[in-house]
Structures are given as C-alpha cells and as structure tokens.
Structure 1
Amino acid sequence: MLKTIRSDQLRLGMFIHQFSGAWLSHPFWRRQFLLRDARDLEKLRSLDLSGIVIDTDRGLDVAAQAPDAEPEAAVPMAEAPAAVPAPPPMDEPIVLPLPDAHPALALAGPTFQEAAALSRQAVRQAMDLYGAARLGHALDAGQCLGLVEEVVQSVTRRPHALISIARLKSVSDYTYLHAVAVCALMAGLARQMGWAEPDIRQAALAGLLLDVGKATLPDDLVQRAGTLSDEERTIMRTHVQRGHDLLRAEGGYDERVLQACLHHHERLNGSGYPGALQGDAIPEVARMAAICDVYDAVTSDRPYRDAWDPGEAMRRMARSKGLYDPTLMQHFVKAVGIYPVGALVRLRSELLGVVVAQGRGSLLAPKVRVFFSLALHRRIEPYVLDLAKPGCADRIADLESPEGWRFADLEAQWLTG
C-alpha cells in the first residue's frame, strides 16, 4: 500500500517507493529501496522534499501514535489504504531479492559452473557497491579489491569462462554484470599485455568502477530503453566526471583507476567525451577500458538492441578506424580470441558449431561444439571438435550470423559444452 509521508516521519525499515519533487533535489540513484542505514535516514530527513511515498506492503508503516497524542497535520495520500497491515518486527530482516538471472545460466555445464556461481555472487557485491555510491557512502578501495581478486583468480583459472557468462544479462542486472564483465575483460587484457599482478588488479578495479558515476543519476534515465533527448544525453555523459570526482574525493584509488573512469568514452579521433582527447593524449588504461567497455556492451542483449555475435563484434571493432588503439586491440583479440566463446562458425567441412573454448597454441583453432550439417540441412548429434588437436584436418571457414539462422538454443550449445 502506497502512502505519502513527511521526511520527519521516516524510520528504519520503511520501503521508499518514490520521492516527491525533482530528482535533482536528492542524491539517491534508485527511487525505490529499503531504508536500512541510519546515515541514510539522517540524510533523507535533512533534504528539502515535499513528501516521500512509502510502500507499507514492503516495509514498515508510520509509527502508531499514542491515544492522547496531538494528531499531526494530514498529508495527502498517494493511495489511501483501506487497512494497514501489521508491520514486520524490527529485528526481522527485509531482504531485497537479487535481480532475475538470465535463464540460460541454469544450463551451465561443468566448464562454466564456477563462473556462473561467481557471476551471481558478484552481482550482489556490485549491487552493494553501486548502492553505497547512490547513498553517498564510502567506496573503500580495499573492500572493492575483494571482489576484484576473485574475478582475477577466475580469469586466471579459466580465462574465458567468466567473460562469456557475464554476457548473459537480464534487464534488471545489466548494470552490475556489465561492471563484472568489464572487470574480467580488463584483467585478461592487462595479463595479455604482460602487466605485473598488482597492476592487473588495478586494471580490473578500473573496469569494475568505470560506470560508478551512473549511480548518482536517476535510474529511469540510466535504464531508458528508448532514444535519449539531447538534454538527457548531456546529463548521461556527466557520469564519467561524477564517477571520477566520487573516487578522487574518497581517496586511496590508483591514478589509473581515476583515469579510466574519466576517459573510457574518449576515442582516438577525438570524437569521444568528456575532453575530446586524441591519440596518446588518452591514458593507456582508458584506451584499454574503451575496448573492454564497448565489447561487453555490444555482445549483451539490451531492451533496444539484440546482442552482436561475439565473433562479429570482434571483427567490427578490429576493423573500425579512429576509435580504438590498434595495438591494444591486437592484445585484446589475443586475450579474448579471434573466435570468442559463443561465436557461431562455419567449418570447411560444411558443419556449423559454436566455439566453446580457445585452442592450445592457436587463435585460429578453438574447440567447437558441432551441431548442424549444411550438407544435410538438418541438426546432427552435437559433439566437440578440437581444431588444434594433431591430425584434425578441419578448419574454420568463416563466421556465421546467428540472425540468419535463429537457433533458439545457441546459448545452450556453448554453455553445456
């Protein structure tokens, strides 16, 4: 049940449904959240808000008055309750559910099970991290490094598993899994470039925090499925400066993390923002972040756009002119693969399959799960073909467009491989 109250009526355990007034009048990223922290309560009470809408079905109601108390001035109701449900006791935690996981994650086979479990754990930690930024809390670099360390270790054990799993995003967890995916991609790229272990962790931390400035923007703007107006696009672009300023004010962050946060939307030809920097004027870590950020974005389904096939994304990005550092792009291709996990490929033998793992010693010879015969024009019993195995005469002829085939179970083919 929705009810509008004054800020001085707030108490811990209430569920904030909406703020009355313009979004610029408050620092909170999400409009809906459970009020669990005394610091948030104090901040809300200090704001100049015309009213706050609470949901009494998802949290506590206004405290009952004593019978002889002087009634307070009435506040208009967003929706007048017919009956007030009994509030849960204060010592009973109210746990907000995780965003819905992508349904394909349930299909993960043994190769990807660890990465799938880490991705769900990472979503929770990323939610807490972005939530802290939204509420103006500390973003301690040491606490962030806990998640970064797990991601780096996962990338070390299975270089392509977490990167591939993190492409499978639902609408509700895109922001968080994108942060985790870019974290993993930055770790893999830095390792490929020969960075020392401490520096790899800083690159991964930069990937995790690239978009933390979006936590200070209204969620209806960040999650917008349609085209943004010029004014909205200008506001959205402020996330890089907001994130940079937030981390710098906190202190304790490596300068490379700050550079990546501020400049990951710069492009070599000067067409990016916020500084329209060109070439080597863009810090190297920001040029790395630009590649990792775009690759994960274009290979993930969004409400307004279907994902690119990972192989096609790699091909388009490598061929683009003036956007990405060509030397770093070569390192990225080596880190992720010419034919990344999940890419649909056609073999010389006129078979179709999806890449399930990178090959030993050759970017051109990955492991492929074959499941369709072009000669027979039908499905065949799936099997894994290691193109790098001695004696294997087959090779990849070209990438295939998933849109042209519309295999409904393409994700299952590589996830279970």
Structure 2
Amino acid sequence: MSQPLKKTTDPFTQLDKLVPVLSDLYTAIKSKHEKAASMMDTLIHTITSITDVNPDAALAAIHLSKQTSPLKQPIYCAVIAHLFSAQQQLDENRRRALIQAVLFCNITFYEFQVLLNRMDGKLTESQRAKLEKHPLQSAQIMEAAGFMDPHMIKAIRQHHERPDGSGYPNRLPSKDISDLALVVSMCEVYTARIDNRAHRKPVLAREALAHFQNDEDPRIKGLLLNFAKSIGIYPPGTWVKLASGETAIVVQRQKNSPIPIVRALFDANSIPYMGPVVRDAKNPDFKVIGATYPPARPSVDLSALFD
C-alpha cells in the first residue's frame, strides 16, 4: 500500500521567496521581455498552488509575516484574491484578472511605497501627484507589455477609487467602479492595515476594513461579506481572547461555522504555556470574545501550528 505524500508546502517561507521573483517579473514587464507572459503564468500558478495546499497556513503566513519588502503586499493580496475568487464563484477569466490586478496595480509605484510606509505626516504636493498618477501609469505599463485583459486593466485603473467619490485618479462614484477594482482595494487596504508600519502598530484584522463597512451599497456589502468569509471572521494567524481569559491564536477556519479552531498560548495571567493548548471555542468556557494582541513574544514556533 502506497504511503501518502508528505506535505512539503510551507507558506511561511515559500511566499516570501516569491518577492525576488515578482521583482524580476516587474523588470521583464517594463522591458517588454518576451518571457514576461510565461513568468507571470508561473508566478500565479505558484501562488495559487501554495494557497490551495494549505489555505489556513497561507493566511497565517500573511498575518504573522516579518517580511519587510513592499513586494510582499501584492503576493499576499494574490493569496487573498484567490480565496475570494472561490468564495465569490468567479469564473476563471475574472479570477485570473483579479489576481493579475492585485499583483501589478502598483508596478510603477512600489519603490515609492518604501518611503510612504516610513512616513508619519502629510504628503507634499509632488508626492500626492505621484501617488495619484500611479493607477493609470501601471495600467499603461501592462498594456504596453501586451497584457490587455479589459477586466484587469479596468481594475488597475480604478483600484484607488472609493465608493464615496473621494478616490483617485478620477473621483468616480460607486456605480462606476468595477467589482474587481473594489476587491483589489479591499485586498490592498486589508494587507496594509494589518502590517507593521514605522509610525503605527498593526490594526486588528476585524477592524482593517472598517471604512468599507460604513457603506450602505448592497453590492459593496455583498463583496465585503464574501471577503470576510474567504479569510474568516478571525483569520488564521490572528490572536484572540477567550472567555477563560487565555490568549489564543487562530489556526484554522471551519467551513460551515464562523467559530475558528484555536490554540491557547498564554494563560489568563498572560503567562506563556510551555506549548500550545487545545481549546474548543464552541465550549462557552473557551469561546472567542474578541480580537487582541499577544501579551509577549510566543515561545513556540508559530509556523509549526499550521503543518
């Protein structure tokens, strides 16, 4: 009898190894290299395969990331976009357009992102102008390299438009913004806000898309609901407080329940356990009462919780 194949996919290392791959792809697209299309296909296949093997571990890798390159964001966005596509039941063309849009919407802008991520203050007029030009410039770069999918191009052009008309570059009203553009925006805002920045702590996952939740548009509400379902109410890799007073980490979503699978790592006095302790969040004594931050650096290898 043959033995089952050992799972060798480790999103905690493999997703971050794609940072230089994406950098090379950006260079190939900008130079209109003949291999750019095949490089893109390979990258998208790699990201989706890593995600499909262990989607909970892929989400945990995003939420526990220590990667500092701004190029991590499009890769992490692609993971979420792939999961959203399944939840939203997008056809293959729109799924691919969405993943391409999140990967390349900032192709002309990522070097500038390093500066922005470190800033704590208002942009200068020239910085603001550069910021507002990049959606159109990124779309132009993609078109010039021969990537003409209209859904992808439209999503890139519109990914900084906002439902209240305050976005850029064209201050479009909600009805004129494509669904894919709105999802690109959700992916970008979410991954940016849960990330550490020089001037602020990461925002709790449940609060990351709070400004979208204020919109009464049923279309946006539907997209936001499926976004939340695709990653979980408490996504893997996020920290929660239990009714017992313990601090736990979410290790798995449940397909037919919003209640996550958790492991307690700190007791009610914030003293770390020697190892993860199994807790059933369906039990009222250990139910999740809210998101939190860990009281200290965990003493266990967190990635091992997601094997």
What is the TM-score of this pair, normalised by structure 1?
Answer: 0.63
Structure 2 counterparts to residues 182-221 of structure 1, below 5 A: 182-214=77-109, 221=115
Tell me the secondary structure at the aligned position of residue 358 of structure 1: strand
Structure 1 match to 2:273: 380
Describe the superposition over 1:204-235 as per-residue Cα deviations: whole angstroms up to 9, x where unpaired: 122111211215x6677556534321321221
Contact 2:194/2:202 (CA < 8 Å) preserved in 1? yes
Structure 2 match to 1:407: 296
Alignment root-mean-square deviation, CA: 2.9
**Where does the alignment leave 5 or more consecutive residues of structure 1 unmatched?**
1-109
Contact 2:9/2:53 (CA < 8 Å) preserved in 1? no
**Is structure 2 residue 211 aligned with structure 1 residue 320?**
no
Describe the superposition over 1:367-413 as per-residue Cα deviations: whole angstroms up to 9, x where unpaired: 11112232x5633342133436xxx45453422432xx642239x57
- Name the CA shift for 1:386/1:406 in 2 (closer, same or farther; >3 Å): closer
Structure 1 match to 2:74: 179
**Is structure 2 residue 54 aligned with structure 1 residue 161?**
no
- Name the CA shift for 1:137/1:154 in 2 (closer, same or farther; >3 Å): same
Aligned match of 2:262 in 363, 368, 388?
368
Contact 1:344/1:354 (CA < 8 Å) preserved in 2? yes
**CA deviation after TM superposition for structure 1 residue 236, in Å:** 1.9
Structure 2 counterparts to residues 12-411 of structure 1, below 5 A: 114-133=10-29, 140-167=36-63, 168-171=65-68, 173=69, 175-214=70-109, 221=115, 224-227=118-121, 228-313=123-208, 316-317=210-211, 319-321=213-215, 325-363=220-258, 365-374=259-268, 378-381=271-274, 382-387=276-281, 392-402=283-293, 406-409=295-298
Larger radius of gyration: 1
CA distance, structure 2, for counterparts of residue 207 and residue 193 of structure 1: 16
**CA deviation after TM superposition for structure 1 residue 360, in Å:** 4.1
From the two aligned structures, give the one with the greater helix fraction.
Answer: 2
CA distance, structure 2, for counterparts of residue 112 and residue 369 of structure 1: 23
Tell me the secondary structure at the aligned position of residue 278 of structure 2: strand
Structure 1 match to 2:3: none
**CA deviation after TM superposition for structure 1 residue 179, in Å:** 1.0
CA distance, structure 2, for counterparts of residue 282 and residue 178 of structure 1: 22
Contact 1:265/1:272 (CA < 8 Å) preserved in 2? yes
**CA deviation after TM superposition for structure 1 residue 134, in Å:** 5.7
What is the TM-score of this pair, normalised by structure 2?
Answer: 0.84
Tell me the secondary structure at the aligned position of residue 254 of structure 2: coil
**Where does the alignment leave 5 or more consecutive residues of structure 2 unmatched?**
1-5
Tell me the secondary structure at the aligned position of residue 325 of structure 1: helix
Contact 2:239/2:292 (CA < 8 Å) preserved in 1? yes
Tell me the secondary structure at the aligned position of residue 120 of structure 1: coil
**CA deviation after TM superposition for structure 1 residue 250, in Å:** 1.8
**CA deviation after TM superposition for structure 1 residue 302, in Å:** 2.0
Contact 2:242/2:289 (CA < 8 Å) preserved in 1? yes
- Name the CA shift for 1:134/1:214 in 2 (closer, same or farther; >3 Å): farther
Contact 1:260/1:285 (CA < 8 Å) preserved in 2? yes
**CA deviation after TM superposition for structure 1 residue 351, in Å:** 2.4
| Comparing 330-339 and 271-280, the one that deviates more | 271-280
- Count matched residues: 296
Contact 2:119/2:198 (CA < 8 Å) preserved in 1? yes
AA aligned opposite 2:233:
I
Describe the superposition over 1:150-189 as per-residue Cα deviations: whole angstroms up to 9, x where unpaired: 2122222222322331341433x1x211010111111111
